[in-house]
Each structure stands twice: as C-alpha cells, then as structure tokens.
Amino acid sequence: MVLATRGPELRHQRQVKIKTKLLLIHRAWQLQRRDGHGQKMIGLGAPEELVAEVRAATEGHHPKMELDRITAYHHGSNVVVEVSVIVPLEMSVGESHGIALALQHKIEGIDSVERAFVHVDFLQREEELHKIFLRAGQMAQLDKIRTDTLNAAAITLQRFARGMLARRRFAAARAAVLALQRAARAWAARRLVAAMRAQRAALTIQKRAGT
C-alpha cells in the first residue's frame, strides 16, 4: 500500500518544487523590472553609450563652441539631456542662440532622447546650475509598490504551500480509507467463503445421512 502511493507522491512533490522555483524566478524578475522602471521614474542616469553619443554630437557641432558638461537622466522610458556649452564672450546673442538651437535639434534626433536643453555660457562654472531633488511622494509610492509586490509573492507562495500540504493530507487519508476498505472487503469475503464452505459441508452430511 505504501509503495503503491509513494511514486505518485514523489512525482507530485517534484512538480511542486519546480513550480515554486519558477514562481520565485518570475517574481524576482517582476520585482527587478518594476524596480528598474521605478528608478527611471525618479531620474536614473542615462546609459554611458547614450552619453558618449551626445558627447560626440556636441563636440563636433561648431568650431567656436566648447563642451562644458553633459547631464542625462531618465524621464520614464526616455531620456532628458542637458548640455552646457561655452562660446566666446564677444559672440552675439543671435549667433549663440542659433548654435544652441541647432545643437538642441541634433541631440533630440538621437533615439530615446525625449528633450534636450542647451545652456550657453561664456565661461566654465564650478557649481551646478540646478538642484537635484525627487518629487514629493515618489519614494513612498515606490516603497508601496515594492511592499505590494512582496506581499503578493508571499501570498502566492503560501497558497502553493498550503495546497501542497492539503494534497498530501488528502493522499494520506485516501490511502488509509482504501486500506480500510480492502481490509473490510477481505474480511467480508473470508466470512462469505467460510459460510459457503459450512453450507456445502452441511449439505454433504445431509446427503450421506439420507443414503
């Protein structure tokens, strides 16, 4: 009885382990993907390849223009680029504006660049031009997304574990019931055979006594 039910039970346990591992991998991938989108929402830095492409486009844009700095960060799935350039002090406003506008259009023509801002100056600045900050409530929203994802994964794992335990208990109870049924049927069959033998013996005795 134990050997008969051991094979299916082992196969079921292996299937449960495989499903649990696949579920963990899937949840980890979802969490990593969601974290990646969350980092892009709060201003994750752009890839180095994109920054290098922007640098190459800027450095060869105009002979009188010099690149100061490049700031590129994600705005959702796309990228916002801020470029600071230096032009001679004696250059007119109209000429510098035309150079900056043409550079802006060139950078915005790069794939995945949503907006480009070109800051024109006549000298190099040591301090940053803007403050870097996160919009209010974004970190709380990301923490809530992470917590909800972890809770959903934990609930799913608990559901799988409880289902596995319930199936194991059901299999054990079913095996016990089947064993009891087999024992009861065997006992009833033995009693029936004994009664039939006794009846046959009685008939045989009656026949011999009558003769």
Q: What is the pLDDT of residues 21-31, one digit of tens each?
A: 666 666 655 55
Q: Is the pLDDT of residue 4 over 50?
A: no
CA dist 53 and 106 (Å) reads 11
pTM of the model: 0.43
pLDDT at residue 187 in the model:
94
Express each pLDDT in 180-189 by its tens digit.
Answer: 999 999 999 9
Average pLDDT over residues 3-13: 56
> Could you tell me the pLDDT band of residue 40, with boundaries at 50, 70 and 90?
very low
* Residue 9 burial (CB count, 10 A): 15
- pLDDT band for 152, please (50, 70, 90 cuts): confident
Q: Which CATH entry fits the domain spanning 48-131: 3.40.50.1000, 3.30.70.1350, 1.10.3720.10, 3.30.70.360?
A: 3.30.70.1350
Q: Mean pLDDT throughout 109-126?
A: 85
Average model confidence (pLDDT) for the chain? 78
What percent of the chain is predicted at pLDDT more than 70?
70
Measured between alpha carbons, how far is residue 58 from residues 53, 62, 88 in Å?
9, 8, 16
Q: At residue 129, what are phi and psi to the nearest 5 degrees?
A: -80, -25
